[in-house]
Structure 1
Amino acid sequence: MAKIWTPENAGKIIPVIKVRPLLPPPPSVGARLQPQHMHWQLGRYKEDLTFGPGGRGRRKRWVVDQEAEQHNLVLNQTYDTLMAQYGFLLGLWAAVGTGSTLPDPAQTSLAAEVARTNINESAGTNTWSISRVADGVADITVVREFTEAQVGNKNLAEWGFAPAQNPSSNLMCRELFRDGLGNPVVITPASDQRLRLIYRWRVSVGPVIPQPVSINIDGIGVRTGELFLRKYAPINAFPWNVFGSEFGDIALLHGLMMGGDIYRGHVLHSADVPPNYNNSSSYTSGGFYKGISYNSYIQGSRTRTTQPVTWLSSEANATIRLIGLGYDGYPMGVKLDPGQEFTKTNLYKLTIGEWTVTWGP
């Protein structure tokens, strides 16, 4: 309560109490990339005879002569530069070298790279796999093999992974080869041996539990709702979705980080969409779509923002209950709370401001 000014209290300090409504924060989504482990194997292929309904044949069998598993270090440039170019697919090329310099987050390349490959003998080039670990969390795994000609009789001491072929300063991680006890070792493949690297990194996005948020809509005012991600998104709605329809949340953040085309981009929807991470419904009617464009990425910011988009007076004239990104399979949106919906008419335009995604370790 505020005291009223009167001549009797002139010159006195009068306390004033301001009451403001408590509103949830604006929408914010984030992504993380963390190292997991690398499994190296030194071995060779041997031919075996096989017998079956088709007769006798031959097959190659991988025989391991030496192996170990170890952890690794993700470099700073992964977060500052590479994720803005390649999203989550950062380790499609394996590199090995002869340098023995200890790894440091500020490094960008191997000390002395001698070979780089994207070959998986059994699956082809540039192959990788993804597996769900938990809600919003997935592991990406690659298997890469260096041939006898690439590494035979060379003293290999270091390794790393990169998103591109050119042997330059583009590594996402770097480490020394280590034995099972964590001690640095030098691997010298014989002329008939190959080196296989199996590397896994973990990505996560959030929030996966719907979060209260508020949106300030120009000309309408503040509206409250729930920000949600969806695990499943119909694959036809994401032609760029290399992860598959069951990884809609991962794919969305992957695309946003790179400034990619998220199909039609922004969506206004009249459907009463349940803000549920496991909701796999496809909403093919009642949606109004606009393309997506981005502000230029500022190196080192670890943040990407979209540009505002405007629906003209002749567009999206309906009661709006959801604001999101995507198409009928949009994997992210803000479901407006009951009573917070608004009706757009042909009397005005509607501008939706920027969306922001941040990332880091």
Structure 2
Amino acid sequence: MPEKEGEQHNLILTQTYDTLIAQYGFVALGNYAVVGTGSAAPNPAQTGLVNEVARTNADTSPAQSNDAEPTPGQAVFTRVREFTEAQVGGRNLTEWGFSPAGAAGNNLMCRELFRDGLGNPVVITLDTDQRLRLIYKYTVSYSPAIGTSQDVSVDINGLGTKTGKFFVSRYDGSYSGGLGHIYLLSEWAGNILSAGGGVWGLFHSVVDVPTTPGPNAPGGNNATNYRGNSFTNLSLVGTTPITRGRKINARTFAANQANITWYGVKIYRYYDPGGGSRVMGNVILAFDSGQEFAKSSLYKMIVGEWVLTWGP
């Protein structure tokens, strides 16, 4: 049984938005708990603890860390990390934080002092046979939220302006706890991209045919609303970091590629657990009914940049 416990808020550091998300994405930001003995007041410009003494990514047993989306558009990440007697036993601890990195140093997403119920800084003194457990929750909000869409218009050179709906989809909600779309956004942000069987991948410009266009399309699980076309020229494309954001570079389809009717464009994430790949989450631009167009071998087509931005 815990001898003492408490709850307090924390301070997200500026470098989280400026550099850490672009390196690690959103999901891994709180993977490591960090404690120290410094007493300086928290400041957004700080990057690490004043005097770090230990960090860990050890979960409790049974594992209690979990991710969930209790409200559409808000993913909550819970990280439960426990320091052993060898790490913190007999120490007087005053500060704590969380980081996406295992190496000690200036790589924290948040920093705070241990405080009492009135918000006053306190010293946490542990006996030599005591452990310390930190439970940390943070929320990532995104838009448009699952179940909603944004009306958009796209100017296509030679074809004029096309209208459509832009939305995020879970697609297959049975994997990653139904948060495949959040992992897609996280891997997009952190440029954590790969391809091949049994790994995660981010692909661009996959043509989909909406079998249920309209208000049903932005639903939480679009496995039955969208079917893949026979077009299979899928490959990873490069990304470019921007200030508090990342863009997926434009992709060119040559005259002999994608000569089909285009009903929309998506970015998706897939996983092959064995026995077939599973689409986990999508970011989709679906043209409105009657706005689709056919590409022929007389033309090449360029799908422009897709941009993801973040900030407080």
Shared topology, TM-score over 0.5? yes
State which of 118, 123, 130 in structure 2 corresponds to 1:193: 130
Q: How does 1:1-361 map to 2 (within 5 A)?
A: 63-88=1-26, 89-123=28-62, 128-208=65-145, 209-233=148-172, 244=176, 246-261=178-193, 262-274=201-213, 275-281=217-223, 283-286=226-229, 288=231, 289-298=233-242, 301-326=243-268, 329=279, 331-361=282-312
Question: 3-state SS of the aligned residue for 2:104?
Answer: coil
TM-score using structure 2 length: 0.86
CA distance in 2, matches of 1:214, 1:70: 45
Structure 2 CA distance for partners of 1:292 and 1:221, relative to 1, 3 Å: farther
SS in 1 for 2:139: strand
- Does the 8 Å CA contact 1:234/1:245 hold for their aligned counterparts? yes
What is the DSSP-based 3-state SS (H/G/I as helix, E as strand, rest coil) of the residue aligned with 1:69? coil
- Across the aligned residues of Structure 1 and Structure 2, the Cα RMSD in angstroms comes to 2.0
Distance in 2, matches of 1:177 and 1:114, equals: 15
Residue 112 to residue 245, structure 1, CA distance change in 2 (3 Å): closer
With over 3 angstroms needed to count, the CA separation of the structure-2 counterparts of 1:248 and 1:121, relative to structure 1, is: closer
Shift of the alpha carbon at 1:245?
Answer: 6.0
**2:135 partner letter:** I
Measure the CA separation in 1 of the matches of 2:181 and 2:86: 41
Corresponding residue for 1:37?
none
Q: Alignment length, in residue pairs?
A: 288
Q: Is the 8 A contact 2:240 2:248 kept in 1?
A: no
Equivalent pair of 1:226/1:335 in contact (CA under 8 Å): yes
**Distance in 2, Cα, partners of 1:219 & 1:347:** 12
Structure 2 counterpart SS, 1:77 = helix
CA distance in 2, matches of 1:189, 1:156: 8
Overall identity of the aligned pairs, in %: 46
Shift in CA distance, 285/109, structure 1 to aligned 2, threshold 3 Å: closer
Question: Quick one: distance in 2 between partners of 1:86 and 1:308?
Answer: 23
Indicate the structure (1 or 2) with the bigger Cα radius of gyration.
Answer: 1
Deviations 1:46-89 (A, max 9, x none): xxxxxxxxxxxxxxxxx111111000010000010000111111
Q: Structure 1 residue 154: deviation in Å? A: 1.3
Equivalent residues of 1:205, 1:249 under 8 A apart: no
Deviations 1:137-168 (A, max 9, x none): 12111111111121122110000000111111
Measure the CA separation in 1 of the matches of 2:170 and 2:227: 18
Question: Secondary structure of 2:16's match?
Answer: helix
Q: Which amino acid aligns with 2:246?
A: R
Provide, for residues 80-102 of structure 1, a one-character-per-residue CA deviation record: whole Å limited to 9, x for no partner: 00001111110111110000000
Change (3 A) 1:258 1:273: farther
- Quick check: 2:37–2:92 contact (8 Å CA) kept in 1? yes
Q: Give the Å deviation of 1:284.
A: 4.6
- Find the aligned partners of 1:131 and 1:245 in 2 and give their Cα distance: 7
Name stretches of at least 5 consecutive residues in structure 1 with no aligned partner: 1-62, 236-242
**Which residue identity is paired with 1:244?**
S
- Letter matched to residue 319 of structure 1: T
Please give the secondary structure, in 2, of the residue aligned with 1:255. Answer: helix
